[in-house]
Structure 1
Amino acid sequence: MTRARVAVLISGRGSNMAALLAAAADPAYPAEIALVLSNRADAAGLAHAAARGVPTAVVESRAFRGDRQGFEAAMEAELARHDIRILALAGFMRVLTAGFVARWEGRMVNIHPSLLPAFPGLDTHARALAAGVRLHGCTVHLVSAGVDEGPILAQAAVPVLDSDTEGSLAARVLAEEHRLYPAALAWLAAGRVSLAGGVVRIADARGATGSLANPLPAAPGLSKG
């Protein structure tokens, strides 16, 4: 089996990167993590990738202040050098230009810690708590020119508990991110993802059944499950 060559782009610790590396350690996984690239030399995830024997590269965004196209050209030179076919953003804290996104259209995925289109941007867990939502979660999507926009591949939801803090909610969502992202990347790498009218279709995907409610109804005459 020829595995798709993937670059994971990070800016920090790269916990989702670590989840992807763990999944790709299985020879049957359809993607090979061929490069971990960061815009920061001090990103903790670089050491983790190197320890796993994965090639790493740094293109310092601070060296290209005011020159986004120059920064992206330097990144693309690294991607070409490693023959990369798919990009997976994992806490990559840079907004990419429309031109870069267009060149990688359909081949670049991102994971975001909310149920998009709710709560794009930063501080998603605090905003979810402040809004009083009962369900929160994460989204894997194809990247488009808008921030945290693009066709959705998969989502996972968790209940928001009355006792939740930002930290406890973040931890519950992160566990789902680590489960969901490797699965979604595998679908893309295996060629199972298609678009119809801007909506993702995944060949042979197993659909979930039932529903998730929080809190569960407990009034007289209402079913609890």
Structure 2
Amino acid sequence: MANKKRLGILISGRGSNMVNIARKVESGIIDAKVSIVISDVAEAPGLDLAKGLGLKTLHLSPKGMPKLDYDNLLAGTLLEYEVNIVILAGFMRLVKEPLLAAFRNDILNIHPSLLPSFPGLHAHRDVLAHGAKVSGCTVHLVNNKTDDGPIIVQRTCPVWDTDTEETLAARVLEQEHIAFPEAINIHLAGKWMINGRRFVRG
């Protein structure tokens, strides 16, 4: 276990992807260790779920803190827990330079659409409003723009005419639970490079 890469998972809500990743780690499907789960929301259900899985958890409140100071706090805390890769699993804050600088090309985010289409907070609503026939999810490296970094993995699912935001979200979430562990394993393997906007596997 001592030689395994350490994951730091950041959440803001229910923690569905966090739980899925933690279980994949426990089963050996992801060859890493979850070092810490951090939430910016004290009442995030994911914190209790993480504790139930035996994971270390922290609530770091951003209230009253300038954005850069909070990101410095996050970076320092993650480094204190010897984190190698940061996983944004429903973390609803934009990541800024202090954290990006500490973990350059080592921060992974998942977004519930096929980027670059439908970025932002209302992906499912926008997919339905545009009449898209296919949706899915994207795991990408994080940069200083919203939902913009090099794409590691994408998975697709159909959009039905009868879909609501809730039914589409549930179908996309099934793909998220496949895509995120796959992307983490690709990153862990280290056989990749960044070529412009592209994440290229070696």
Please report the TM-score for the alignment, with normalisation by the length of structure 2: 0.94
Q: Deviations over 1:6-48 (max 9, x none)?
A: 1000011111101100110023632211110111111110111
2:193 matches 1:194: yes
Matched position secondary structure for 1:62: coil
Quick one: distance in 2 between partners of 1:192 and 1:44? 35
Quick one: distance in 2 between partners of 1:28 and 1:119? 30
Whether contact under 8 Å (2:75, 2:102) holds in the other structure is: no
Residues 44-63 of structure 1: pairs in structure 2 closer than 5 A: 44-63=45-64
Q: Who is 1:37 aligned against?
A: 38
- 1:197 deviates by 2.9
Matched position secondary structure for 1:92: coil
Higher mean C-alpha displacement, 139-148 vs 52-61:
52-61
Q: Deviations over 1:79-98 (max 9, x none)?
A: 12211111000110111213
Which amino acid counterpart does residue 149 of structure 1 have in structure 2?
D
- 1:99 deviates by 3.8
The number of equivalent residue pairs is 201
Q: Who is 1:221 aligned against?
A: none
Residues 197-208 of structure 1: pairs in structure 2 closer than 5 A: 197-203=196-202
Which amino acid counterpart does residue 18 of structure 1 have in structure 2?
V
Q: Who is 2:175 aligned against?
A: 176
Quick one: distance in 2 between partners of 1:166 and 1:55? 33
Quick one: distance in 1 between partners of 2:75 and 2:121? 26
Q: Deviations over 1:149-180 (max 9, x none)?
A: 10000101111111111111110000000111
Q: Deviations over 1:97-156 (max 9, x none)?
A: 134223322100000000000011011111100001111110000001001110000101
Spell out structure 1 runs of 4+ moving beyond 4 A. Answer: none
**What stretches of structure 1 of length at least 5 have no aligned partner?**
204-225
Residues 1-225 of structure 1: pairs in structure 2 closer than 5 A: 2-27=3-28, 29-64=30-65, 67-203=66-202
Q: Who is 1:219 aligned against?
A: none
Quick one: distance in 1 between partners of 2:128 and 2:37? 33
Whether contact under 8 Å (2:72, 2:98) holds in the other structure is: no
- 1:53 deviates by 1.0
Quick one: distance in 2 between partners of 1:55 and 1:100? 20
Whether contact under 8 Å (1:41, 1:58) holds in the other structure is: yes
Which amino acid counterpart does residue 111 of structure 1 have in structure 2?
I
Whether contact under 8 Å (2:110, 2:140) holds in the other structure is: yes
Quick one: distance in 2 between partners of 1:102 and 1:81? 16
Which amino acid counterpart does residue 45 of structure 1 have in structure 2?
G
Matched position secondary structure for 2:137: strand
Which amino acid counterpart does residue 40 of structure 1 have in structure 2?
V
Quick one: distance in 2 between partners of 1:3 and 1:146? 30
Flag the 1:111–1:55 CA change in 2: closer, same or farther, 3 A: same
Please report the TM-score for the alignment, with normalisation by the length of structure 1: 0.85
CA RMSD after TM alignment: 1.4
